[in-house]
Structure 1
Amino acid sequence: MRKIREVLRLKFDCGLSVRKISRSLGIGHSSAGDYHCRFAASGLSWPCSLSDAGLEQQLFPPPPAVPSEQRPLPDWAMIHAELRRPGVTLALLWQEYRLSQPKGFQYSWFCEHYRAWQGKLDVVMRQEHRVGEKLFVDYAGQTVPVIDRHSGEIRQAQVFVAVLGASSYTFAEATWSQQLPDWLGSHTRCFAFLGGVPEIVVPDNLRSAVSKSHRYEPDINPSYRDLAEHYGVAVVPARARKPRDKAKAEVGVQVVERWILAALRNRQFFSLDELNSAIALLLERLNRRPFRKLPGSRHSAFEALDRPALRPLPEQPYVYAEWKKARVHIDYHVEVDGHYYSVPYQLVKKQLEVRLTARTVECFHTNQRVASHLRSPHKGRHSTQTEHMPKSHREHAEWTPQRLIRWAEQTGPNTAGVISHILERRIHPTQGYRACLGILRLGKTHGEVRLELACRRALSLGACSYKSLESILRQGTGVGKTWLACALAHQACREGYSVRYLRLPRLLEELGLAHGDGRFAKLMSGYAKTDLLILDDWGLAPFTVEQRRDMLELLDDRYGQRSTLVTSQMPVDNWHELIGDPTLANAILDRLVHNAYRINLKGESMRKRVKKLTAPGASD
């Protein structure tokens, strides 16, 4: 309340100046001077017998009343709706109001009373959404049971909900899951229901929408991005664990659960179509239900606001497609679900994006389609278009049958024979390149000597394929080296010697771990005290620097004091190269080979002989 009486008392009774009065009462000196001037102009005398309220009314009379027909209140609901349109502000609406009502209220009063009116609305309606801009989508937390009419099995149907930002117009339907096909299908049917598409779709961070969530740059699912590009919309996911980013969807889900799912709680449904028919009836009633604090309904607001602003639907609806990445092999084919599809040979070793529909396979490179095929269900087959096959291309010329055979001859004649056999059995030799390269790569894993021996065995058995060679290299020749080593170990045990059997790869791995946890010295001491140490599968892989040193230390502790038995598929002449370092290789082989007894095993695989003896109908 204004301190009018106190200002007048200090002025007339105490004789203080205006500035001293303002400092004493903590008010501005202009306010104190204004009170004194108004009192002098009023014709009143001091002391004054009026009350504080009467004195204030005398000095500050109210403005003359303007008839309500000359100064009508603005239509706040209309102003609230107009603010949703792009570029519309309160200042513009106030100017239009004053043009229609010259004696209307001023801008400050206009803004103050609009904010007061807006504060009485619901939380959802306080959000500002541009017409036709955003569509919020989500799944309801509740599910609806659907009973199988034949088996009685109960499946839970998911409920998809979409809400337009400006009008709150709602779409809902039931699907079997939240997986990608159902997620994209619901969007397609939602756009058809609306009769147009918005500018932005705001989903949650479910896997069907976002491959990898991120606060600043989330990775949109490729199929979802494909749908967005087809309809010309932008996908802007809500932030993870930020439900206020999609408050429209949250409230829309709540409204659907209360007015649709709750109304269906006592009904039984025996098919998804039956459930969606019931949802559609209640959805129509929900959208036409009047707002509580705004004029009209969701349907009328949609017709007046969102529908005119929606973009038109494309001529063809979206066809569901999946996306995957595939690298082009040197045979200019990409593998998709076990089938091989050709692409232009210039894209050899490039990574492509492959779009899969129920009938077609499309390959894209740098967002440009480079190949299209009918989808084939036959695994292991090739779909090759002649225009994709090279005639004379410098980058691809070296990958010819002659080039692969010459490369195989560097390993040995048996390897070259296997490669020639594979290339001759293909209609197009390029279709055998993949298997040939896989066979030649086995030489890096198992060594060229072992690969040559395995190819010789494959030629004798007539099993010239990558899988057969891989099996031979993994299982060995099976001539009984491990069996003989174990037999010698059993005999040593009977004679009272301590024996330990170890596969060399596992031993080297255990020694490597022992370096880290401090068990190395104790482990090496135990191995040094064993009377007979059997090292099986020597030479399956080259030695590392640390493994060479560990092996030298192990053999040095045992040299001249204990016995060591080694089994290997690799010829002894190749051990030096297998160990690697010439100095350490000489030291290891000096302690292992020069004073050793050597047994060379040959013949048919023991596994094969055992199979023959145990086969049904075998003679005694």
Structure 2
Amino acid sequence: MITPARQAGRRCAQPNYAYFSAKADSRRKYWRRWLYSEYEGACRAAGERPYSFSSFCRGLAAWRKESASVETDEWKAAECLITYWSRVGRGVHERFLFVAQLAFSDRTFCCSAPDRRPATWERCCERAYRWLGGVPFVTVYPGSDVADGTIMSLQDFAAHHRTVLYCARPKQARTAARSARPMDAKSRSAVADRVRADIGDGDFADVEELDAAILERAEHYNAQPCGGGPSRNDLFWEQEAAMLLALPFERYGFPEWLRRVAGGDYHVKVHGFRYSVPWGYAGQCVNVRVSGEAVEVWSGGAMIARHARVTEQVGRNTVTDPAHRPPSHAAFAKRMETRFMAMAAPMAKWAAKAMKLVLRQCGKGGMGFRACKEFLDLADAPSGVILDDACRSVLQGEGAFSVDAVRGLIGAGI
């Protein structure tokens, strides 16, 4: 716990910093005052003179810093891109500053951002990749606590760019001991600090002018010699640029990720429409990926359902894949189709064709058989237009067939 002063050649007993550092790591909140009390008690029991509390804390901090720098490896070229958020400007001109710093060459990309949402981080990070001309092997996300609905979005973004995504890098030896990656000696970017100082309280006409000024200042400081050696740009182009991963051929689409619970009818609701999942997932939490053309449902890292995205209201706004129904439901649906076709058989030719189209729409859209029942009820509606004639007019028309179009013709003939 201590080294006596006569052995250390000092006036005070030398603390065993390895012991006290390990004890501080053993608990989440182990105050330095408690460590010093234990050190002071050991000195009193040994008849030695202790250091003051401030000297003890400075020595412990210096030992931990030196130990962390010796025991941890440095990042290699093109291996890691550290990202974090800062602020630039003040008052009405204050905006968030996105900073992306290469751990090897220290080349830094900066741009303004309206907020710090994960979706904004993804867009800023893609800009950084294209500015660098490639993708590093590891990208550090500046947040440690990520919501469940955001995890899949970040994983999808990382998989598209073929980078490994980590949350915020530990800055202390206590948290670094539980980390599988090396701890970075840099805690902030000198380029970003100088950019913030230059921008200051400048009055910019719009966001585009502010962003252009940030990029110009960042590029200026990247080109300056660093510590008497080569500039960040020179080090990047000489040793790091060629080792970056190639950019994806297609741009990332930035889909929307949602967290949903499948109902008892094995459907999830997305933007007012209901989409089916395999019936075994009823009542479970799933992740929904909404892109421009498709709605995908994911669970456990695997896609369990995919539907064409519906944007216009059709029937009951429900999309059901027949393969997602339980075996009993599928058998019931087949029996119902047979019954409706048997009820439409006595009708004329065009009405029977219309019934086939209604059944096909029910099977494709999963709207149930309510439309079939409504179609059959039109035969008993008092009107001057016969159901068969109305069906022929709609089927031979230019527009798509629908029960509402038939109902409109019958209602107009009353």
Q: TM-score, normalised by structure 2?
A: 0.55
Correspondence for 2:168:
238
1:268 aligned residue (178, 203, 208)? 203
Cα distance per residue 1:85-130 (max 9 Å; x no partner): xxxxxxxxxxxxxxxxxxxxxxxxxxxxxxxxxxxxxx9xx97221
- For 1:129, the equivalent position in structure 2 comes to 75
Aligned to 1:394: 327
> Does structure 2 conserve the Cα–Cα contact (< 8 Å) formed by 1:227 and 1:318?
yes
Q: Confirm or deny that 1:193 pairs with 2:140.
A: no
SS at 1:172's partner residue? strand
The aligned counterpart of 1:447 is none
% identity of equivalent residues: 24
| Matching of residue 173 in structure 1 with residue 111 in structure 2 | yes
Q: 3-state SS of the aligned residue for 1:335? A: strand
Q: CA offsets per residue over residues 34-88 of structure 1, 9 Å max, x none?
A: xxxxxxxxxxxxxxxxxxxxxxxxxxxxxxxxxxxxxxxxxxxxxxxxxxxxxxx
Instruction: Look up the SS of the partner of 1:251 in the other structure.
Output: coil
Corresponding residue for residue 64 of structure 1: none
Runs of 5+ consecutive residues of structure 2 not aligned to the other structure = 1-68, 177-181, 337-360, 370-414
Residue 139, structure 1, aligned to residue 85, structure 2: yes
Instruction: Give the SS at the match of 2:187.
Output: helix
- Output one character per residue of 1:416-452: Cα deviation in whole Å (capped at 9) or x when no partner: xxxxxxxxxx97897579xxxxxxxxxxxxxxxxxxx
CA distance in 2, matches of 1:290, 1:315: 34
Q: Distance in 1 between matches of 2:294 and 2:255?
A: 9
Partner of residue 313 from structure 1, selected from 236, 244, 247 = 247
What corresponds to 1:98 in structure 2?
Answer: none
Q: Partners of 2:285 and 2:303 in 1: how far apart?
A: 13
**AA paired with 2:101?**
V
Q: Which amino acid aligns with 2:133?
A: G
Runs of 4+ off more than 6 Å: 243-246, 398-403, 426-430
CA contact (8 A) 1:331 1:430 kept: no
* 1:332/1:135 CA distance change after superposition, 3 Å: same
**Helix, strand or coil: the match of 1:368?**
strand
CA distance in 2, matches of 1:310, 1:143: 29
Matched, 1:163 2:93: no
Q: How does 1:183-222 map to 2 (within 5 A)?
A: 183-205=121-143, 210-211=146-147, 221-222=151-152
- Bigger Rg, which one: 1
Within 2, Cα distance between the matches of 1:261 and 1:391? 55
Structure 1 pair 190–249 and aligned structure 2 pair: CA distance change class (3 A) = farther
Report which structure shows greater RCO (CA 8 Å, sep ≥6). Answer: 2
Q: CA RMSD in A?
A: 3.9
Alpha-carbon distance in 1 for matches of 2:198, 2:255: 36
List gaps (5 residues or longer) in structure 1: 1-122, 147-153, 213-218, 404-425, 434-620
Letter in 2 for 1:235: L
After superposition, give the CA deviation of every residue in 1:532-552 in whole Å (9 maximum; x if it has no partner).
Answer: xxxxxxxxxxxxxxxxxxxxx
| CA deviation string 1:219-261 (max 9, x = no partner) | 9722111111111111122356749876566321x4312x212
Q: 1:246 to 1:204 in 2, by over 3 A?
A: farther
Q: Distance in 2 between matches of 1:133 and 1:231?
A: 14
1:529-570 C-alpha deviation (Å, 9 max, x unpaired): xxxxxxxxxxxxxxxxxxxxxxxxxxxxxxxxxxxxxxxxxx
How far did 1:333 drift?
Answer: 2.8
Question: Is 2:315 the partner of 1:370?
Answer: no
Measure how far apart 1:265 and its partner are.
1.8
Contact 2:257 2:289 (8 Å CA) reproduced: yes
Q: 1:344 to 1:237 in 2, by over 3 A?
A: closer
Counterpart of 1:296, as a letter, is P
Any conservation in 1 of the 2:288–2:298 contact (CA below 8 Å)? yes
Q: By how many angstroms is 1:189 displaced?
A: 0.5
Q: Structure 2 vs 1, CA of residues 197 and 206 (structure 1 numbering), >3 Å: closer, same or farther?
A: same
